[in-house]
Structure 1
Amino acid sequence: MSDSGVGVPWRSPRLYLLLATAAVAPLDVNIVGPALPAIADAFAVSSARSGLVITAFAAPGAVLAPIVGMYADRLGRRRVIVPCLLLYGLAGVAVTLTTDLWQVLALRAVQGSVGGSILASLTLALVGDYYEGPQRNAVMGVVSAGISFSAAAGPVLGGVLAARSWDAPFYLYGSSVVVAALAYRYLDPPAVESGDGESDGRHGGSYVRAAVASLPAREALAVYGATLVGFTFFFGGVLTAVPFLLEGTYGLASGRVGALVTAAMMVAAVVAVFNGRFARYLSNLGLVTVAFGFYAAGLGGVWAAESATAVLLALGVFGIGHGLLLPSVASALSELAGPEFRGGVMSLRTSVILGAQAIGPPLFTLPVTELDVGYELPLALAGLGAILTAVGLFAAAGGRSGIGVAAAD
């Protein structure tokens, strides 16, 4: 590794390039969501058809993320991440030139094939390449916080720009082109990077088999499983069930609902910054286990809350858990994967997260619509599920001894 130490290297230009790359990744959906009504009006389509602008972006990434990760391993991280940044930005800005919805959808599909969560995973793979031990956790925390802050600011920026014109938010993707140029010029390849620009002889199938074989099965299943469950709680519970609960039970307008959810995301970002310090005392799997304890308390708190203020406090507790989970699972996967497979292993994390995004909302809404119950029930069951997950992770970590071992000695 070219960096050493245990703290965040705040004077390193490389760190700020990683942060810049991470910051453009959450522009995928967050800035576009507020523009959907304006897009529907501009193209005279229904809200369902305008919603395809989100679907067209998300679908390709779920399939292509591991493939992009594979090429990042085989060709080198920078040789893949720079074209991804460039194409992501150019396709986004090109949306402003479209005259028909199908053109918008086609360009969004191009963006989804190379950007968003894929860029985030490639950035986290670079963090794993450049840093090790507690410093890796520290930088993972800062980069994860950057992703969270950008994700929280996205709806605000998108809403302000969409009020001017439907296509104004898409100009923000030009920032990705700028980051691509900076990365090409200043981002040095990791010393551990094995890609040499030529095929190493592995076809896609053999690469996948070799990558899977290189991972410790129990630990990998625990980390990927925790990622799936944690993000299912986030997308289904915090982003879907809680807004309906706040609107239906407490009569809050969408603006105040969004503010409460954003507050939880901000708490997660702040907690993520300190992940390096936490990693001195607990292993990554230990931190993930503790995260599910906070998930359980937060979800249970929302269920038991009797006021919007109590819901806000419970969301803050959930945010602590999410701030622990985000960098810890990324650091855990970086440790489990060798440098020759790290890009693919991290990109598979993207597919898991997108899977959680797909299954989370129905898991929390179907019981309400089919059984005619309130949102309190699925939230309470999720809290119980978080407790059971924490117990399972504790067992997977080998009990107290596994939980108590720091990420690096």
Structure 2
Amino acid sequence: MGDDDGGSGGVPWRSGRLYLLLATAAVAPLDVNIVGPALPAVAEAFDVSSARSGLVITAFAAPGAFLAPVVGMYADRFGRRRVVVPCLLIFGVAGVAVTVVTEFWTVLALRAVQGSVGGSILASLAMALVGDYYDGTQRNAVMGVVSASVSVSAAVGPVLGGMLAARAWDAPFYLYGVSVVVAALVYGFLDPPPASANGKERATGTGVGYLRAAVASLPTREALTVYGATLLSFVLFFGGVLTAVPFLLAGTYGLASGRVGALVTGAMSLAAVVAVFNGRFARYLSNLGMVTAGFVAYAVGLVGVWASSSALGILLALCVFGVGHGLVLPSVASALSALAGPEFRGGVMSLRTSVVLGAQAIGPPLFTLPAARVGYELPLGVAGVAAGVVAVALFVAVGGRAGVVGSPAGE
């Protein structure tokens, strides 16, 4: 499944297909990142409380947690390329439609429509397509730049959303029109995956029967390890870095929200840089080997935040965490793509979306609830120790072998 100039296992930078996959993945973080800064303006425009305006985020996130495997099922049955186009189109049209409504409940309804097909679901479909088109170390290389695309878009989203929201409450929602453009480009120019990517036959069955078959197709131990690592990594990210650290910086060091956002975004930008080199790392380490190294970086970073006595120290510690995140994200995606049979790859990758959304829900309370009694430093330190324990457990699981999930690339 090589591609243009990627026969050596590197990134096929001259391939138009690559940029269509990158564009699809980059649309995904537009889910809540560009809308968050607009919530105060939305509350004012519709004369609702700040708590009710927060439902704009909840209405988007809730459907995806349950419907991601359903979208994956249809992607496996009818072809992932055929499903990603209507998902992009619906995501974009429903988002832009928010700009013309006059009732708050309509905003929530349109956001629910978006959440049923977009956001992390789009990212998972893009990653499933990576698994269709590429294999070996080239899969890791492309998965790395796709993950970097998601990270960069996620970092730029709040800044862009905040700038647009300062002009008008509905201005950020016009950005969803980009998804319609990407849908048209994917429909017109993305070549169908190789016949081998579909296996001998497409997935059959629906609902629970499909899910049982998809789960049964996975090696249990490896699947639990990879999904578990995905859950824990995003709990640490959403709960620790995106929730606890901002409160710590604001409460202890008196940093304004703008400086807090810039500090966290700057440090986490390292994740995108590291992810780009995933293909090169895959020549020497298995996917689980890279995940193990990532959890070591998580442990050092979070313990470093706990031990720091200045905002600069926290910044340096977050940079270490960012390196770990850049190692973990593309590696778990590549591992899942390699574990899944072609006929179930969409469902297996979409289940990853449900895991990520679950982490988004449980991560923040795990840090904010104990912080009410002991502050944020101790929960972050405990989380760092826990990440270190996970790293040791993963090292034992690797057992010194290069390719726990198959070949050195994690195949």
Report the Cα distance in structure 2 between the residues aligned to 1:240 and 1:79, rounded to whole angstroms. Answer: 37
User: Which string of whole-angstrom CA distances, capped at 9 and with x for unpartnered residues, describes residues 276-296 of structure 1?
Assistant: 011111000000000000000
Aligned position for 2:74: 71
Letter in 2 for 1:43: F
**What is aligned with 1:194?**
198
User: What is the CA-CA distance between 1:260 and the residue it aligns to?
Assistant: 1.0
1:246–1:135 CA distance, 2 compared to 1 (3 A)? same
Question: What is the letter of the counterpart of residue 409 of structure 2?
Answer: A
How far does residue 219 in structure 1 lie from its aligned partner after superposition?
0.6
Conservation of the 8 A alpha-carbon contact between 1:236 and 1:361: yes
In 2, Cα distance between equivalents of 1:128 and 1:110? 27
Equivalent residue for 1:288, pick from 288, 291, 297 = 291
In the alignment, structure 1 residue 111 sits paired with structure 2 residue 114: yes
Is the CA contact 1:394–1:403 (under 8 Å) kept in the aligned structure 2?
no
Distance 2:198 2:233 in 1: 32
Alignment equivalent of 1:34, drawn from 34, 37, 42: 37
1:387 corresponds in structure 2 to 388
Q: Which secondary structure does the structure 2 equivalent of 1:105 belong to?
A: helix
Q: Which residue of 1 aligns with 2:132?
A: 129
Separation (CA, whole Å) in 2 of partners of 1:73 and 1:402? 27
Residue 149 (str. 1) matches residue 152 (str. 2): yes
- Contact 1:229 1:356 (8 Å CA) reproduced: yes
Q: Which residue matches 2:165?
A: 162
- 2:296 and 2:302 map into 1 onto residues whose CA distance is 10
SS, match of residue 284 in structure 2: coil
Equivalent-residue separation in structure 2 for 1:287 and 1:2 (angstroms): 23
Q: Which residue of 1 aligns with 2:225?
A: 222
Structure-1 separation of matches of 2:136 and 2:401 = 21
Provide, for residues 72-96 of structure 1, a one-character-per-residue CA deviation record: whole Å limited to 9, x for no partner.
Answer: 0110011100000000000000000
Distance change in 2, residues 1:305/1:346 (3 Å): same
Matched residue of 2:198: which SS?
A: coil
- In structure 2, the gaps of 5 or more residues are none
Identity of aligned residues (%): 77
What is the match of residue 374 of structure 2?
373
2: CA distance between counterparts of 1:100 and 1:63?
26
Q: Distance in 2 between matches of 1:200 and 1:342?
A: 10
Report deviation, 1:201.
4.2
Counterpart Cα distance in 2 of 1:398 and 1:126: 31
* C-alpha distance in 2 between matches for 1:204 and 1:5: 40
Tell me how far apart the structure 2 counterparts of residues 359 and 238 of structure 1 sit (CA, whole Å): 14
Does residue 315 (structure 1) correspond to residue 328 (structure 2)? The answer is no
CA contact (8 A) 1:124 1:140 kept: yes
Query: Is 1:407 aligned to 2:386, yes or no?
Result: no
- The alignment partner of 1:340 has SS state of helix
Distance 1:201 1:127 in 2: 22
Q: CA contact under 8 A between 2:203 and 2:343: conserved in structure 1?
A: no
Report how far residue 352 of structure 1 moved: 0.3
Aligned to 2:365: 362
Task: Return the TM-score normalized by structure 2.
Answer: 0.96
Structure-2 change in CA distance of 1:401 and 1:85 (3 Å): closer
Residues 54-69 of structure 1: matches in 2 within 5 Å?
54-69=57-72
Partner residue, 1:256: 259
Would the alpha carbon gap of residues 281 and 199 (structure 1) be closer, same or farther in structure 2, given more than 3 Å must change?
closer
1:7 pairs with 2:10: yes
Distance in 2 (alpha carbons) for counterparts of 1:239 and 1:393 = 25
SS in 1 for 2:374: coil
Alpha-carbon separation, structure 2, partners of 1:5 and 1:77 = 26
Relative to structure 1, the CA distance from residue 387 to residue 19 in structure 2 (aligned partners, 3 Å threshold; closer, same or farther) is: same
**Residue 73 of structure 1 contacts residue 195 of structure 1 at CA under 8 Å; is this kept in 2?**
no
Which letter does structure 2 place at the counterpart of 1:18? L
Q: TM-score normalised to the size of structure 1? A: 0.97
Structure 2 counterpart of 1:209: 212
Cross-structure match for 2:97: 94
CA distance in 1, matches of 2:250, 2:204: 56
Equivalent position amino acid for 2:399 in 1: G
RMSD: 1.6
After superposition, the Cα gap between the structure-2 partners of 1:403 and 1:290, relative to the gap in structure 1 and judged at 3 Å, is: farther
Q: Distance in 2 between matches of 1:27 and 1:324?
A: 23
What is the CA distance between 1:200 and its match in structure 2?
Answer: 5.5
SS at match of 1:23: helix
Q: Which amino acid aligns with 1:180?
A: A
Say which SS state the counterpart of residue 341 (structure 1) adopts.
helix
In 2, Cα distance between equivalents of 1:194 and 1:406: 24
Aligned pair partner of 2:184 in 173, 176, 181? 181
Kindly indicate whether residue 23 of structure 2 is the aligned counterpart of residue 16 of structure 1. Answer: no
CA contact (8 A) 1:137 1:327 kept: yes
